[in-house]
Amino acid sequence: MKKIISILLVLQLCCFLLAPSLALEATLPNAQLGREVAASAAALSAMADTSMKVEISAKASILMEASSGQVLMAQNEKEKLYPASVTKIMSMLLVCEAIESGQISLTDRVAASENACSMGGSQIWLEPGEEMSVDELLKATAVYSANDACTLLGEYVAGSEEAFVERMNARAKELGMNDTHFVNCTGLDDTTDEHLTTAYDIALMARELIKHPIIKEYSTIWMDSLRGGETQLVNTNKLVRSYKGITGLKTGTTDKAGCCVCATAERDGLSLIAVVMGSENSNLRFEGAKTLLDWGFSNYECFTPTVDRTDWQPVRVIGGTKEKLLPDVPEMQPVLLTRGEKEKITCRVTPDAEVSAPVEKGQRVGTVEFLLGDDVLCEYPLLCQEEIPKISFWGFLRKIINSDEEK
């Protein structure tokens, strides 16, 4: 008799409990898997002033934080100028992408064309028909800024230098390099007035290139050789030998461009990009890049958010095969901070009190916020780690009966 009464009560409870869950289901938000970031008012105001805080002897310059693309300071960064061999950042980007996609391999042997061998300026003096590996050609391009090696790589990737340059310009548009036009893959400008870019655009393509770990295997080489030691290579970027944390990246010099450099460096998780264009001599470009990087590392630091899950409260699940769930967070990315602010950051976790089944894997079930003072520095969704189906009528009935029997 007691069991019959329990069943009748269950029928009434089902009508009461399951109906609201249907109404709630319709209002559930879609899964939000992307990172949600809102810079605090304090952080925004601190970073809004991008005027120069140091003196740089150049036509244009910029300092950018690599992970966010935040410009820390700049002068004439949108002025169109000749980039000289800094152009090769884009050439190397396309080569690295071709390698990582499997289109070409570092061990591929490439025979030198007449066109590649005819390049002037810096070169490794390729002979028509001479074979070198992609590895050797990339090393010659990154370390010694060899125009013949760079051109041969472009021909190998795209079929011809002209087709490769078309890809360079298309990739520039994809990266938002709106003030850039490439005429060749080397930066030689003695026969053109249209091969132009800006300090800002160079920083954008450098930011993309250093996302590929392979390039640092070449851009950090100080000295090496080819042809069994017969051809010596010395890096044109003198900072590789002397600057702490340097990771590259490319120099360039022509009569039209003056002396240019894009220098990248990383310390304690903070990655910076310094671009100097149009210095009167080589020492001034390196001193300018060093000054920019020094200022950035002295004034900024990176904070990578982490959370302590030990005190998290579970979220109640209404009408599901499970009664509660423990949420998780997506991968958290570094946040740029003014040096000294890291110690002021607090974390606030706000799980939803309850959620109605069915619950999708990855569905948002709360929020975790990192605060700098009273301002939200960054925000992430709390996510359900598994799919939780809605409980069936008979499943719900069995749960009530089993619970009653246990009592």
List the domain boundaries for the chain. Answer: 20-42+308-400, 50-302
The helix/strand/coil state of 249 is: strand
CA distance 247 to 267: 10
Contact 147, 126 (CB under 8 A): no
Peptide bond into 314 cis (omega under 30): no
CA distance 204 to 320: 48
Residue matched to tokens 């042997």: 109
What per-residue string of b and e applies to 372-396 under the rule 16 or more CB within 10 Å gives b? beeebbbbbbbbbeeebebbeeeeb
CA distance 205 to 220: 18
pTM of the model: 0.82
pLDDT at 399: 64
Contacts of 190 (CB under 8 A, 6+ apart): 120, 254, 255, 256
From 299, 301, 242, 289, select the one nearest 263 (Cα to Cα): 289
In Å, what is the CA distance from 378 to each residue of 64, 72, 264, 304, 345? 20, 19, 26, 11, 11
CATH number at 50-302: 3.40.710.10
pLDDT at 44: 43
The residue from 21, 40, 85, 91 that is catalytic is 85
The residues with which 315 forms a beta bridge, in sequence order, are 325
Contact 91, 205 (CB under 8 A): no
Half-sphere exposure of 315 (CA within 13 A, CB side): 28
From 138, 160, 158, select the one nearest 149 (Cα to Cα): 138
The two tokens of residue 39 are 């810079």
Contacts of 39 (CB under 8 A, 6+ apart): 47, 377, 378
The two tokens of residue 181 are 């036009």
Give the H/E segment covering residue 348. strand 345-351
Fold exhibited by the domain 20-42+308-400? Peptidoglycan synthesis regulatory factor (PBP3), Domain 2 (2.60.410)
The residue from 145, 219, 279, 356 that is catalytic is 145
The whole-angstrom distance between residue 71's C-alpha and the CA centroid of its chain comes to: 15
Amino acid at 79: E
pLDDT at 22: 35
What per-residue string of b and e applies to 305-341 under the rule 16 or more CB within 10 Å gives b? bebeeeebeebebbbbbeeebebbbeebebbbbeeeb
Q: Do domains 20-42+308-400 and 50-302 have the same CATH topology?
A: no
Contact 85, 252 (CB under 8 A): yes
Contact 123, 146 (CB under 8 A): yes
Catalytic annotation present for 88: yes
pLDDT tens-place values along the chain, 407 residues long:
444 445 444 444 444 344 443 333 333 333 333 334 434 333 444 456 899 999 999 999 999 999 999 999 999 999 999 999 999 999 999 999 999 999 999 999 999 999 999 999 999 999 999 999 999 999 999 999 999 999 999 999 999 999 999 999 999 999 999 999 999 999 999 999 999 999 999 999 999 999 999 999 999 999 999 999 999 999 999 999 999 999 999 999 999 999 999 999 999 999 999 999 999 999 999 999 999 999 999 999 998 898 888 878 889 999 888 888 989 999 888 899 999 998 899 999 999 999 999 989 999 999 999 999 889 999 999 999 999 898 887 766 676 676 655 55
pLDDT at 391: 84
Dihedral through CA 203, CA 215, CA 163, CA 81, nearest 10? 30
Residue matched to tokens 């080589």: 282
Give the 3-state DSSP-derived string for 124-183, with helices as H, strands as E and coil as C.
CCCCCCCEEEHHHHHHHHHHHCCHHHHHHHHHHHHCCHHHHHHHHHHHHHHCCCCCCECC
Catalytic annotation present for 145: yes
